[in-house]
Structure 1
Amino acid sequence: MRRQLMLKALLGLAFMGLLLLLVDQQWSSWISSMYLWSSSQKTPTEDPLDLSSRKFEAQAEIRHPLDLRYPYPYPFLINHPDKCEGPRGAPFLLMLVMTQPQNVWVRQVIRETWGNETLVPGVVIFCLFVLGLPQPLFAQELQVLLEREDRKHGDLLQVGLLDTYRNLTLKVLMGLEWMAQYCPTAQYVLKVDSDVFLNPRYLVQKVLQPNGPLRPDFITGHIYRNTAPMRRQGHKWYMPPELYSHDKYPDYCAGPGYVMSGSLALRILSVAQRVKALYLEDVFVGLCLKYLGVKPTPAPRNTFFTYQKKYDRCTFHRLVLVHHFQHQEILQIWPDFLIASTTC
């Protein structure tokens, strides 16, 4: 009797498991069909990420999180190929701001503060926000918002790869590919993160010097020398020996912001086609510099800060960049900072 009860219980569990499996398969099939149906019902203007681009996104996914696929034909999904051909001519400074798709308000704050292209009189500056594809959750809704934002401001450069920290090198390289293809005569290129305070006037007038001589091998920022790779797994900057076996990194400029001559940017991009890409973008640029035989040029002392610094009007008037600044803080200090040129 007891054996029969156990047999019935086992058969019942097996039946329930089979039933749950069938229900789960039907549910997944229904969700998939509903997703595809909703995608097919939208017009191209409502849904810029059609099935073909989503298929590309899946193909562009990289299985190993530290192994980058480059060179690779990542497409520009939002592009402005004519930006450098307008009446203002080629830019003295092209600013490539690394940003994430969902950071709409951060981009607006930057436009109203240090990303304002007219901030330095008499100097042509162009600003582009480089971003990738949003995470799958709410991707279509966010893409619609990005298209609307770009129609209003015309300054987004979206690349067909998933926007993650591990893909930052690819975003930077694609920004340089855009420069090489559509704006090759830019005199200087600034790679900058979105969580910084930037002083474009000091950068242009004191560091780059529009009336100064051409510097084909110029790159500057906060320079790291003789730094060792992080070998502790789980650390944000972990570098496995199989990807980089040396005990020291080459000299490189810290990732929050560095500026280089346009000619050097083109040469870095050329070398990047042959050197194995590392996910630590600033280290990888340093590796490209080593292959080119170029060393970073020291910036004026105390002008690039990789750590947060308390705001002081006259101190910030004489520096280029401070890392770890939230957009709310920039909005608060910017009106006061603008009067520094007349009071400091």
Structure 2
Amino acid sequence: MRNACLKKILLTLGTGLFLAVCFIPNDIFPTEEYFVLRKETLNLLDQGVLLSPSHNACTRELDLLVLVLSVVENRDKRRSIRDTWGRVNQPWPLLNSRPSMKVVFLFGVAPKPEENLELNSESGLHNDILQINASESYFLPTLKILMAFKWMKEVCSSVKYVLKTDDDVFVNLPLMMERVSSMKGRFILGDKLPYALSHRSGKHTVSSKEYPFVFYPPYLIGYAYIMTREVALSMLNAFYHMPFLKIEDVYIGGILPRATSTSVMQIHPSWIDNGQKVDICDFVQRKLIAGANIDNDVIYKIWQTFKEPWRCKK
């Protein structure tokens, strides 16, 4: 059954005004019923873990667990994070402290055996690899993150906040932690997209059986979002009883928060930047919290501005 809705649209064309009547079907926007957890178990996390940080990785309470999506060939991107904003146990440049944190890079099984051997060596060297037993694919990130939540629950449950990001992102951690520490209640914070179309063809194809509505709920774009440990664990529990969607940022940044009564919040209109040219001084000048699609050499240049902020004074 379809609900008819009369909608007034005033269109200015020359000197004329036109009234349009639209009939909007009830499968355009998701209904509240869709976000009610099912009584039965719909999904399982049984892929298994091939590589993981040692059990002493979280021996003390941490401020932040950073989960970074990556693939084996992006070794230079991981190096740039380890050398700069993701460098653990050292103060942020010109500051006396840095959030106590653990960085974990998330992987599936690489297509070439030699790549998995390389990843095994990297894990032994850095102790920051979580590899699940599922083949790498465009739609695997959702399961990578949920498996990371499961690992956190078992090994690193004392962490306060969980940040998910990608391996081409720079994050101003002191500014981000300043932002989240001032917030109360249940939230997930990032770059919010109010509504977006579900695609029935192309790279991001989702069938109507997988997701029955034309529009997705408001969600956070996947390159950087942060939540409390409690929110991450509640979303993990909800996953077992919520229809699965393979689009990572829609599912974890929108659907699971809605299903767990978690507020999806914009971090700040000018504090996050996706897909645009980043000014390397924007971070040290507190104009940006996170920027995506950043080349490795630019990440190092941004880091240098924190060591020498006077270079960015105008």
Task: Give the TM-score band, short-chain normalised.
Answer: 0.7 to 0.9
Q: Give how far 1:250 is off.
A: 1.3
CA–CA distance in structure 1, aligned partners of residues 230 and 185 of structure 2: 6
1:107 alignment partner AA: R
Partner of 2:267: 299
CA–CA distance in structure 1, aligned partners of residues 104 and 186 of structure 2: 23
**1:171-186 map, 5 Å:** 171-186=144-159
In structure 2, the gaps of 5 or more residues are: 1-41
1:165 alignment partner, SS class:
coil
Distance 1:122 1:163, change over 3 A: same
Q: Is the CA contact 1:202–1:317 (under 8 Å) kept in the aligned structure 2?
A: no
Which TM-score applies when normalising by structure 2? 0.78
Percent identity for Structure 1 against Structure 2: 26
Q: Is the CA contact 1:114–1:199 (under 8 Å) kept in the aligned structure 2?
A: yes
Q: Give how far 1:119 is off.
A: 4.3
CA–CA distance in structure 2, aligned partners of residues 248 and 334 of structure 1: 39
Partner of 1:254: 221
Between 109-118 and 307-316, the greater mean CA deviation after superposition: 307-316
Distance 1:73 1:216, change over 3 A: farther
Match among 142, 157, 160 for residue 115 of structure 2: 142
Q: Give how far 1:315 is off.
A: 5.0
CA–CA distance in structure 1, aligned partners of residues 246 and 160 of structure 2: 27
Q: Is the CA contact 1:191–1:259 (under 8 Å) kept in the aligned structure 2?
A: yes
**1:320-331 map, 5 Å:** 320-331=289-300
Partner of 1:192: 165
Deviations 1:195-253 (A, max 9, x none): 1122112112x2123xx57x44121001111222123x12x222221211112211211
Which TM-score applies when normalising by structure 1? 0.72
Q: Determine if the alignment matches structure 1 residue 131 to structure 2 residue 127.
A: no
Match among 107, 116, 124 for residue 151 of structure 1: 124
**1:154-165 map, 5 Å:** 154-165=127-138
Question: Which structure would you say has the larger RCO, counting Cα contacts within 8 Å and 6 or more residues apart?
Answer: 2
Partner of 1:226: 195
CA–CA distance in structure 2, aligned partners of residues 320 and 311 of structure 1: 12
Distance 1:161 1:123, change over 3 A: same
CA–CA distance in structure 2, aligned partners of residues 99 and 75 of structure 1: 18
Q: Give how far 1:312 is off.
A: 3.7
Q: Is the CA contact 1:207–1:300 (under 8 Å) kept in the aligned structure 2?
A: no
Q: Determine if the alignment matches structure 1 residue 238 to structure 2 residue 205.
A: yes
Give the number of the structure whose residues are more often helix, by fraction: 1
Give the number of the structure whose residues are more often strand, by fraction: 2
CA–CA distance in structure 2, aligned partners of residues 74 and 341 of structure 1: 49
In structure 1, the gaps of 5 or more residues are: 1-68
Between 255-264 and 332-341, the greater mean CA deviation after superposition: 332-341
Q: Is the CA contact 2:194–2:217 (under 8 Å) kept in the aligned structure 1?
A: yes
Q: How many aligned residue pairs are there? A: 265
What is the root-mean-square deviation of aligned Cα atoms in Å? 2.1
CA–CA distance in structure 1, aligned partners of residues 198 and 68 of structure 2: 26
Q: Give how far 1:185 is off.
A: 1.9
Deviations 1:291-321 (A, max 9, x none): 1222212313311212223324145541211
